[in-house]
Structures are given as structure tokens and as C-alpha cells.
Structure 1
């Protein structure tokens, strides 16, 4: 006997979520379950849409236009279009109402339109050309004013006035404020002289209106130029502040690392000094050469320890309250420093904070110099902290690889599963990690990995060949 089941969703007579035939009360239960699921999905959709609409539509987020050659040349096109309008309008006005004739009217209009275009590159020569063209036009029209021509605007034609407004605006946007107001003052004096001292007949005066409009565009252009310069200066100051903050952070991190390394080195130097002092008493009748060598070892150890403490005193005098200003986030200068033996506790604390972390150790694990273990611990600590801050919901994998030359530390995380909250960090943790690796003669790289993930890869040699300069800030140390 054959029986057909219509998919997991169930056909007639089958319960969709159990795959069993519905009969009686079970059928009603299946129907109610399906209704509940539909209602839950619908309710979640209704609750989610207002938040989605608010995030999408109710925002002041800046969305600048992408850089484009077309957008770059758009202002030039607008100015050239205005110059073409000035050419046609001024030529028609000088010819029809000024009685200059088509040839002279076209030449004067061409000079004024050319001044508008020239102002894009040479604003001061363009201003002189515009003033000269306006004066020539005013003087030429004055001698040819005819009775009944009182509709002619004089001394400046309407199109000539618009052209000079463009020239003054472009001038104010390009030159110093003093130069802009000097040009405005001279233009105003020429306007008053032509209209008030020379004068004319049968015209509509444009001198007073022209002076007011000239002043408005000069003030507007000066204000826009000042705003542009202020924004540029703010950008420069922001860059300088960021560079100074990075430099200060780097110096503070170096100081903190120096304190930590001092604790490690000072302990061993003290042990060497004590052992060298005690060693002659452990040998019966030690030879003088042995005593002298041990005394030299002890003396060198004491001198090295004294020099280290002197350097530490200098560092503390430059930053007397660095740890207090950090709110107690760091360790005390002489507190026992963590090693890789405490890496498990660090991982457990990170897991307790909500981050999924796995660890892997390859190679034969062995004790390393305290400075190497301390730096490795701090690098892992900072890398996991960065994952917590910048990649919520991600998973991290820590790999320690022991090789004959030293230790390789890798911290890899996947991409975040939700949006990271705003962070006040400025990338200074990476500076500290790089500096730790460089001070040991190693290297550190940090950057994107496998899509939206991130990877920190450091190699810390056991024996550093020599100290090196700080690395460039390009993600590689």
C-alpha cells in the first residue's frame, strides 16, 4: 500500500511540524501551533519595522557625494554659462539702448564676459579687466544717450553689473581680506565718481545699488573664504593633535615597558650579584683569580643594576603620576609581572566577558626569557581587548608557536555579528604592541583577515640582535 507525503510542510491530513497524520484534537493542536507561529512572526515584523524605519529615515548622518571629475568642473561650468549670458545680455543692451552699434557693443561685452572666466584663475587681472570694460562702456554710452532712453541703466549696465558681481565674489574667495576690501573701495569710488561727478542724462541710476551689491558679495566671499580656511586649519590642528597624542602614547608605552623590563632585569642582576658574593665562601681555599673574577662579576652586576635604577628614576620624574591618571588600569611599577603561565586565566576572564576564545600551542613548550613572556602576554591581552571592543559577537583563536628562534603569537578573530558600540580608542593599543615587539628585536603585523576578520601576528625572538627604530605607522612593525 503506497502513501504519499507532500514535503516537510505536510499535505492534507499531515501535521507540518511533526510529520504525523492529524486526527481529531491533534489536528486542532497543529492548526493552533501554526497560527501561533504566524502570529509570532507577524508580531516580530510589526515590532521591528518602526525601528528599521527610524534608523533608515530619521538620521542626520552625512552622506557626501563621491569624488567625481564632473563635480569638480561643475563650478567652472556654471561660471562659463554665466559669462555667456553676460556676453549676450550686455551686447544687446549696449547695442539696442546705448546706440553703440553691434561691433563696439560686442567687444565691450566680450571683455566683461572674459573677465568673469578669467576670475577663475587670475582674479586680480580679471577685476582690472572688468573695471576697465565697465568704464569704457559707461563713457561710450554717455555720449550717445538719446531722448526717451531713460530705461537705460547707467553707469553700469545690468549685465555688466552681474559680471562684476561674479568677479568680486571670485576675488573675495581667492585673495586676502585686505585685498578684497581694497578692490571694493576702489570700485565704489569709481562708481561714485562716474555717476556723481561726470553724470549723464536720460538714464536709470545704478550707482547706489551697485555699491550695495558689491559690498554684499565681497562680505559673502570673505566669510566663505574664512570658513574654508578655518576648516583647513582645524584639519591641520586635528592632524597635529593626533600625531602628538600618538607620540605621547608611544613614549608612555615605552616608559611602562621600560619599568616592566627593569623589574625583570633587576631581579636577575640582583641574584647574580648575591651569588657572585656568596660563591667564594662555598669553596675551600678559593684561588685569588677566582675571587677576582667573582668580584668583577659582582661589581658589573651592581653597576648595571644602579644604571637601570637611574634610568627608571628619570622615567618616573618625567611621568610621576601616569598610573594614577590612567585610573589604576595598569600594574604597579614593581608588581610581579604576568607570564604565559597566566594565559589560561586571561582567556577565562575574556570568555566570562562574552567572547568565545580558543587556544592552541604548537611546538615544544619551554620557559622563555621573562621579557619575551611578558610581551607575549601583553600582546594577547591587548588583541583580545580589541576584539571585545570592536568585534562584538566574534570568535577569537590564539595560537602560540614555539620554535628554536623564539615565539610566534597569533590572535585571529572573525567578523562581528552585530554593530560595535562607539569606542573612545584611537589605535594606541597597536602602538604598544608594535613597540613591545620592536624592543625585543621582533616584528608585529596587524590588519584585516579573511573578509571582516582581523589578525595580529607577532614574532618575538629569544635573542634580539639589536634595538631598532620605531616602525612606520602602516600596520607593520
Structure 2
């Protein structure tokens, strides 16, 4: 029994009822003009149903009608915070965008017609059954049978009061079923069109790509800073040399400051703040990466061929992050082994090659999640390039080719 009564205790049941009753207003207004509401016959009631339909079809052709009906449907046919989501947290699935095509206009017109027909029927049934309730109250109190409702009464006597809950429950269940029908119709007729679903999918894809980009930025920047700090601190403690300790602390400070700048840049983007975002580092700023690696005790040889200043900004920024991750992996997995870096700009292409010796006990590619190497390949792929990582003879190689056009 509680399960049967549960729909009658939900607020959305009564907002749906109100939504249906509001739809009948136009029919009664038109009916008051023609054919009139004074003792209407069955033929007159048929006209009351039919006369408003051309007006509704014309209204459905207006682009804003779909938006207005979508907002009403979200507000009154679905439950949830601010009526934006359905029960359970799922999207209500009702669009609030204006009609963008004739198909949207046609669906809106069908929705308006359906809402009027069902709403008028529920309004008439509500009026008749409420009239029956009033008559049952009267006859139960000993008053003569009235003629408020054309529906027949079973008799006269106090026992008629027992029929009042039956009539009310019948009305409420009809309203609850009609409300469910309108909610399903709203999903079908006012739901997003194919173009809107495609646009939403593209927006979702853009959001996921942006999240992945931010994750790569944090992984490369913060991971590099922490790796350098750990290596520098360990080397300073092992060396026991005050001069080396000073250099190590300086490198940790510089690397940490750069990581804080990267973190602040990402937070500004996430907060959508109006303050200007600081420029992301490019290959022109690669010296600080190389200096921090050298300060850790790593010997880094660099060979630059071609003008780095001609490399476009997006390519140069991604190249910087790839170089940063490559040096971080060397320090993390191989320690202070010699590293050879080659930057080549030629024929509209930037080539980045990082090689380091593999100690016999080096856990190449292990001890981590592999997200760094995956991030390199993703960065290269987004620019139309390619990245190769892996052992070559007794060396570990990271080779990336990025087109500049």
C-alpha cells in the first residue's frame, strides 16, 4: 500500500497537474468566444477541442516557443535542483534552445497540440470529479441530490461519504498517469535534436581534451620539480659539501618557483579568472631545464641546429614540455647519467632527440604509471607529429618530430 500511495506524495505529481491545467486555459478562452460555454453540447465540446489547434500550430513555428515550453517542462514535469535535472541526478533531457530547424518547429507544434488535448481532458475530468465529491458531501449530510455534475450518483445516505476517497484517488491516479505521459512526451518532442546532441558531444570532447591537457601540464611541471628536489636533496646530503649544498638549494628554489608559476597558470584557467594568464614556457626557456638537471649532477650535452626563434609558439611550448618530461624521466629512473640533447629545426619540422645511458640496474620505464611517456605521444599527436620512446642498444631514446606548419 505505501508503494501504491508513493506517487501521490511526490511534489512533481502536482506540478505536472498544474502544467496540464494551464494548457487548458487557451481552450477555455477560445471556447468562450466560439462556440460559447453556456450549456455546450457534445458538438460544442468537440469544437472547443479543435478551434485552438491552428493557433497552436502557428505558435509552434516561432523559434522561441520551443525555448518557453522547454523551460516550463523542466520546471514542472521533472524534479531536481532548480528543475534542471530529473530524479536520480540524470539530465532531464529537455532542450531549452530555440528551434533551429523546421523539424524542431514541427516537434514543438505537435507538443503544443498534445499538451492542449491532454490538458483540456484532465481539466474537464478534474472539474467533474470534484463536482461529484461536492455532491457526495451534500448527500451524505442529508441534502437533496444536486445537478452540478452530469455523472450519476449511487444513491443517498451517510455511506456516500465513504466514496469520496475513492473518487479523489481515482482523480489523483489519472493525474499521475497523465503527468508521466507528458514527461515522456517532453523527452521525445522537446528533447535535443541531432544537431544539439552533436554540439553537446563536441563540447564534452573539448572539456575532456582540456582536462587531459591540464593533467599533462601538472604532471610534467610538478613531477619535474619534485624529481629535481628529491635528487638535489639526496645528492647534497650524500656530498656533505657546503658549496654543493648551496647550489642544490638554489636549484631546488628555482625549479620550485617555476613549478609554482605553472600551478598558478593552471589554477587561473580552472577558475576562469579575468586576470591575465602568464605565458607558458617555450624552448627558448630550455636553459633553466638544462641548468636544473646539471645542478643535480647530471652531465648534459646540448646540440642546437637551426633557428629556434622560428618555431611557432604552440610547437615550441609542447617541445618544452616534452624535453622537461624526458629530463625528469632520466633523473627519476636512471639517476645522474650523461644526457645528450639534440634540437634540430629544418624543412618545416622540429626534431627533439634525448638520449641517456642505461645503467645495468636502471628500471627503465618501471616504477611509474607510464603517463609521462603517454603524455609525450599525446602532445606530439595533437600537433600532427610523432614520438618514439624506448631502448636503443645500451641507451634510452626519446625522439619526437613535430611539424611547424
Greater gyration radius: 1
TM-score bucket (shorter structure): 0.3 to 0.5
Q: TM-score, normalised by structure 1?
A: 0.29
Greater share of residues in helix: 2
Structure with the bigger RCO (C-alpha within 8 Å, sep 6+) is: 2
Q: TM-score, normalised by structure 2?
A: 0.33
